[in-house]
Structure 1
Amino acid sequence: MLKPSQTLHNHLEKIPGDDLNGVKTFDPVVDRAAAEQSTLWEVRTEEQPYAFLSDPTVEEKNRYGQKIDLLDLSGLPAERSLYINDNPEVGANPNRNKQHGFFFTADNCIGCHACEAACAEKNETPAHLAFRSVGYVEGGSFPDYQRLNISMACNHCDDPVCLKGCPTRAYTKHAEYGAVLQDPDTCFGCGYCTWVCPYNAPQLDPIEGQVSKCNMCVDRLEVGLKPACVSACVGNALDFGVIENVPHNREQAEASIPGFPDPTITHPNIRFQQTRGLPDEMKRTDSAPVKYRKAASGRYEPVVDRSKDATTGGSTRHWNLARLSSRENPLVLFTLATQAAVGTFALAFLGDQFGIEALVRFNQGPAYVLLATLSWLLAAGGLFMSTLHLGKPLRFYRGFNNLRHSPVCREGLGIALFLGALALHILFSLPANGWIQSLYAGLFGAAINTLIAPATAAAIAAAWGALAIAGGLAGLYYMNRCYRIKARPFWDHWQVASSFFGTALSLGALLGGAVMIAALALEGAAYSEIILLAGTVLSLGLAIEGLGLLAHARAMNAAQHEGAASHYVQRTTFGNTYRLRNLLLGTGLLAAVALVISGASSPWALAAWGVLGAALLAASAIGRALFYVLVIPTTMPGAFFWKNKGFEEHARAIGLAAMPQVGVVPQGH
């Protein structure tokens, strides 16, 4: 939280006796009269010389080729105000418009957590949030067992994926200091930024229903002070200044250390020194089955730690059905419902447009509007469930603020377009509906065709139906793009698209076929062609999804990263559940193909389709729940009791989570 102080000062002066390379800072002990009339922020009298910014030289570009002078990139005026707490005053830091960043010397960090405490005090964060946190990795054997501490906050990246992903545009990359700032009041708590950030910087507060994060202490920077965490570091491990400037008495400025995610994802503005020799393999102390192994290049890369599976260790398979439930349950329902809705309507509408006789006959009957309405209700219900996933559901309308960058916005727009166009398609399909014609004639004594010519209504309905299909397909495409996240390698595979579009085909054919067969059976019409068509589409959907799952499993088995670790958990912690899902999909595909080939339409065949449908619904629900529960992001390592999923689950199980100071909150969103 950026807060004004009780006493404000604006007197510029070098601190007597201290050489800060000519950078002027605010001296609160000089000219009390002038200080009392100031409109800037307080510099406490106990601030030490090392707490002041000092950057005598500045490079032109950073190691990624990005210009460090951000005014050259933005074209903005140099003297813009940040309006910190509505204060229009502009700081006098001569490097105010240069990209700043953190410098972490791992050799010096003793794991005292003073930086965490200073950050928490400065920002008044509750126990379950920390904008800066210290995790660690360990390796070696007695007597040479070593720990590497890692202090991490937001890295104010050159390419902030949080900014691009946020649907509400709550993030801004400022030319002032290069700070990536987030406005909690704009945020509606979807948590997507917490997915895409590789460093666990944005913090979702399920109690407040919004995200907040490190703000670089820009109020301190405006008066020449380093961030609070840097000033509090007792081991001189943290430093801060213009990026690429190596602090005094430092000899390295590396882009990565063991446990740090791939810097090419976002080009983070943090540099490291770590000269002390480390074992070739370093392990995390949290429950994530990931460790880091030194490669030939000298860089430590993630590999799967097969000594633990987040349950009992080893390779034993478990069910853990209760653990399939998560805070992402609304998204499980949203994705399945919208995919089924799009698939159902597409089957009925496109089949009619392509002249498939059975579907033409069905669409001319009274039940077509019922099926289209059912698709609309299913998609609308899914969209409603997605708003329940938000921390502040009443702010759902902000989900279209960042159409330029965010796939979440485009996904929502596609589904909204599907709903709107489908509603109009249903409206203009009414004149051709027998039930509606009878009802209208009974109420008004005239045919509904007197309102609009049937041919005109059919043409308009067809146009809106085509637009609904386009919107639905766009929504599914961007739904897939939402999960192609580099920070979550388990999701970053084309299997996501095959699963989403395959589910649209299989569940759409299942639901649409059931309604069509029932409607035609009630009319006494033949429905064998519907069984053949719906069964073929269902089989195609299952085949597409199955091929994607096979390719995904092969890719994850061959990989050595967090995605491979997620797959390892899938085969161990949820091993039996995973096999059940695969068994249901595999046997379902074989059974569907057999039923299609047989062409049977007897009551026994319909019963078999019913059993098959129930099995596929179960497989879809299990698979989608696994999709959300399994993912291990490329986050920084945690500790035994902090940012450790295993400890959080243990605390909830024994009731320790009821103590707010433990920092574990309920499974909400």
Structure 2
Amino acid sequence: MQSPSRQLSSQPPMISDLLEQQKELTAVQRFSAFHESESVVRHSHHYQDLIPLSAPTAGEQYAFEVDLDLCSGCKACVSACHHLNGLQPAETWRQVGMLLGTHETLPILQHVTTACHHCLEPACLVGCPTEAYQKDPTTGVVRHLDDQCFGCQYCTMACPYEVPQYLEVRGIVRKCDMCHQRLAVGEAPACVQACPNQAIRITNVTKDDVERNVHKTSLLPGAPSSAITKPTTIFRSQRVNHADWRPADNGVLRPQHAHPALVLMLVLTQFSVGMATPALWGNVNGTSCLLTLCLSLAMAILGIAAATCHLGRPLYAFRGMLGWRHSWLSREAIAFAMFLPTTGLLACRSLFGIDISASYNEIATVANISLRHATLSSSTMQLLESAVPFVCGWIGVYCSARIYQFTQRALWRGHRTLLRFGLTSVLGVAAGALLDSVVQNGSTTVPVVGMATLLVVKLCYEAMQLLAVLTPDSPIYGSAQLMLHHLRYLTILRYGLGLTAIALLLLVAIRGLSEFGLWAVPILALISGLIFAGELVERTLYFKAVEPLRMPGGISA
């Protein structure tokens, strides 16, 4: 038997060379081994005064501290963050904005470097439906778990500082994590290391101090109120005055993303819940319309399917219910997940004539349930099978409104969202009642007049928001300007569709549907299409005309 050395020497020269090369470490492996073997982090003397010497104690956490007077706007921090964290070409976790003001009668351009503020109550964490955010209990760093994210992008709306960024190539969101892995070994974050003026440092802040100060002001002039998420970043300056300074991009209006999948999902689910309501009520008193119920079910299915198209990783849509304790998005998902099967079961029972109460009683008998109230009467079962989808559906609509109210954006706050979504659902109720009347040969006057009235109310309500353009101090002044200028064609289309539908409804109410003969069904279909298309355009304006909360930006071209 030959020894290994003799076997190696007997190999062809090329194979021997390749085997020898495999024994050597690559340049990357050698550098990694060298770096890990050092007991002291290299170049630490350059930044050891810019990071805490000890971990935060109880009641403290890490925070960025920025000396604005030292920031020159060179963007070395942006470049270092990008390269040392291996970000994609268009991805940035740190940005540089600008403030405009005066100092001792001289004009000043003040650069502002900003990243994640690692808030005490981070909106990204609270709003996330998949539990993809974690706040470290020791350091206070808010981290994003890439493998848990399914790309709903809600955190990009919820964060008032526009910190999380959607990475389309991976279908997830990512954000600054304060280079926690470097801090853990006594190394400064990339931005701290790169700043030539030492304008950025990491410090320990007391949570109680942050709590006391958040209600006084915002981080910077033009920044959102600190009371929303309680950010911990400290900006220091001897020159910046909140009263006299303003962001360089102040007054710059840009239409936002339309989110077509969300537009379709919201309108379909709200119409579905509304249309199901007359059918569910009819199920209780024995006058249910199967066609209305099936149409409502189909719209709900299409709406939920459209919602999954919005996700960056739709195969993980099931994770959307994990955050039910704190996320309105999870609660919405649960509500509609219950509305869909309960409505479907009711439709199947109506279609196939199944007596659910009898089936339940048979199951109770087979299971040998001898409780006094184990059996249910037919009327009780009908009430339950109608009440469950009714409650779940309207809770889902309410949760949909709360999702956008939570972001604190002016156009989405309070009644501006709740009334829009609610009136769309009530329009669905009128449409369902009209369809029931047509199928059962009943009077159509009341539902037709009701639909026309609701449309008038909704259009007037939307027009009142456009009047904010006359009041520069209005919180939705910018949104009104967007709808009347940048998005004027969409606004014209929305009112054109709505007014045409109102005119046709009034014509039907005056003449009576029977007067149209064979044209009755096409006219009703046209009216329904106009209303539905109008709601789609209205919801598109809802997304595109909103002014997001953000940190001060740079000078726009």
Deviations 1:370-390 (A, max 9, x none): 432221121011101101100
* Aligned-pair CA distance for 1:423: 1.6
Is the contact between residue 118 and residue 140 of structure 2 (CA under 8 Å) also seen in structure 1?
yes
For 1:585, the equivalent position in structure 2 comes to: 498
Secondary structure at 2:409 match in 1 = coil
Q: Which residue of 1 aligns with 2:9?
A: none
Q: Say if 2:190 is the partner of 1:259.
A: no
Worse-matched range after superposition: 155-164 or 578-587? 578-587
Q: How many residue pairs align between the two structures? A: 503
415, 423, 444: which is aligned to 1:502?
A: 423
1:615 and 2:530 are equivalent in the alignment: yes
Are 1:638 and 2:553 an aligned pair?
yes
Q: Secondary structure at the match of 1:168?
A: coil
CA displacement, residues 28-69 of structure 1 (integer Å, 9 cap, x when unaligned)? 9xxxxxx84x8xxx753222343455658xxxxxxxxxxxxx
- Alpha-carbon distance, 1:427 to partner: 2.8
Paired residue type of 2:277: A
1:426-441 pair list within 5 angstroms = 426-432=347-353
The alignment status of 1:50 with 2:41, answered yes or no, reads no
Residues in 2 aligned to 1:163 and 1:279: alpha-carbon distance in whole angstroms = 29
Assess if the C-alpha contact under 8 Å between 2:279 and 2:290 holds in 1.
no
CA separation of 1:594 and 1:494: change in aligned 2, threshold 3 A: farther
Closer, same or farther: CA 423–177 of 1 in aligned 2, 3 Å: same
Q: CA deviation at 1:240?
A: 1.5
Aligned to 1:18: none
The TM-score, its normalising length taken from structure 1, stands at: 0.67
For residues 3-24 of structure 1, give each alpha carbon's deviation from its aligned partner in whole angstroms, at most 9, with x where no partner exists: 9996589xxxxxxxxxxxxxxx
Aligned to 1:329: 260
User: For the structure 1 residues 380 and 197, does the alpha-carbon distance in structure 2 shift closer, same or farther, using more than 3 Å as the test?
Assistant: same
- 1:621, 1:274 → 2: CA distance? 47
Aligned positions of 1:89-128 closer than 5 A: 93=55, 95=57, 98-128=60-90
**Aligned CA distance change for structure 1 residues 461 and 625 (closer, same or farther; 3 Å):** same
Inter-partner Cα distance in structure 2 for 1:512 and 1:189: 38
**Which of residues 516, 524, 529 in structure 2 aligns to 1:603?**
516
Counterpart secondary structure, 2:395 = helix
Paired residues of 2:269 and 2:300 also in contact (CA < 8 A): yes
Q: Cα 1:100–1:557, aligned 2, differ >3 Å: closer, same or farther? A: farther
1:423 aligns with 2:344: yes
CA–CA separation in structure 1 for the residues paired with 2:235 and 2:294? 58
Partner in structure 2 of residue 176 of structure 1: 138
| CA distance in structure 2 between the aligned counterparts of 1:282 and 1:562, rounded to whole angstroms | 19
1:17-416 equivalence runs, <5 A: 36=37, 43-52=40-49, 93=55, 95=57, 98-138=60-100, 145-243=107-205, 256-276=219-239, 291=250, 305=251, 326=257, 328-351=259-282, 353=284, 361=287, 363=288, 368-416=289-337
Secondary structure at the aligned position of 1:501 is classed as helix
Q: Which residue in 2 is equivalent to 1:477?
A: 398
**Cα gap change, 1:456 to 1:597, in 2 (>3 Å):** farther
Q: 1:168 to 1:93 in 2, by over 3 A?
A: same
Gaps in structure 2 of 5+ consecutive residues: 1-27, 208-215, 364-375
Deviations 1:433-458 (A, max 9, x none): 8xxxxxxxxxxxxxx9xx99xx9666
Mean Cα displacement is larger for which, 578-587 or 148-157? 578-587
Tell me if the contact between 1:243 and 1:270 (Cα under 8 Å) persists in the aligned partners.
no
Per-residue Cα deviation, 1:383-422 (whole angstroms, up to 9, x for no partner): 0110110000000000000101100001111111110111
What residue in structure 2 maps to residue 460 of structure 1? 381
Residue identity in the other structure for 1:271 = I
Distance (Å, rounded) in 2 between the aligned partners of 1:486 and 1:561: 18
Output aligned runs, 1:510-525, within 5 Å.
510=431, 513-514=434-435, 517=438, 519-520=439-440
**Paired letter, 1:216:** M
Moved more, 406-415 or 113-122: 113-122
SS in 1 for 2:410: coil
TM-superposed CA distance for 1:349, in Å, is 2.2
SS in 2 for 1:601: helix
Amino acid at match of 2:298: L
Equivalent-residue separation in structure 1 for 2:453 and 2:338 (angstroms): 26
Task: Please list every run of 5 or more consecutive structure 1 residues that lacks an aligned counterpart in the other structure.
Answer: 10-27, 29-34, 57-91, 246-252, 292-304, 311-322, 434-447, 521-525, 648-669
The one-letter amino acid paired with 2:332 is E
1:547 and 1:373, CA in 2 relative to 1: closer, same or farther beyond 3 A?
A: same
Q: Deviations over 1:125-164 (max 9, x none)?
A: 01211111112244579x9553221111110101111111
Q: Tell me which residue corresponds to 1:31.
A: none
Letter in 2 for 1:186: Q
* Kept in 2: contact 1:97–1:178 (CA 8 A): no
Contact kept in structure 1, 2:281 and 2:386, CA below 8 Å: no
* CA distance 1:205–1:116, change in 2 (3 Å): same
Corresponding residue for 2:412? Answer: 491
Shift of 1:603: 1.0
Deviations 1:538-564 (A, max 9, x none): 235425533542454456754647642
* Counterparts of 2:526 and 2:51, CA distance in 1: 72
What is the alpha-carbon distance in structure 2 between the residues aligned to residue 506 and residue 240 of structure 1?
A: 54
Shift of 1:104: 1.4
Farther-moved stretch of structure 1 (580-589 vs 95-104): 580-589
* Alpha-carbon spacing, 1:206–1:228, altered in 2? closer, same or farther (3 Å): same
Measured in 2, the distance between the counterparts of 1:616 and 1:268 equals 43
Give the Cα–Cα distance (whole angstroms) in 2 for the partners of residues 634 and 557 of structure 1.
Answer: 22
Give the residue type in structure 2 aligned to 1:267. Answer: K
For 1:280 and 1:97, the matched residues in 2 are separated by 32
| Cα offset, 1:242, TM superposition | 0.6
Deviations 1:590-622 (A, max 9, x none): 664564466553217836545433332232121
C-alpha spacing 1:609/1:426, structure 2 compared with 1 (3 Å): closer
CA–CA distance in 2 between the matches of 1:624 and 1:594?
A: 27
Opposite residue 149 of structure 1, the aligned amino acid is: H
TM-aligned CA deviation for residue 207 of structure 1: 1.3
Give the drift of 1:282: 5.5
Conserved 8 A contact 2:171-2:312: yes
| Counterpart residue identity of residue 236, structure 1 | Q
1:162–1:193: 8 Å Cα contact kept in structure 2? yes
For 2:57 and 2:283, locate their aligned partners in 1 and report how far apart those are by CA, in whole Å: 66
Root mean square deviation, CA, Å: 3.7
* Inter-partner Cα distance in structure 1 for 2:415 and 2:100: 35
Aligned residue for 1:201, secondary structure, equals coil
Letter paired with 2:135: K
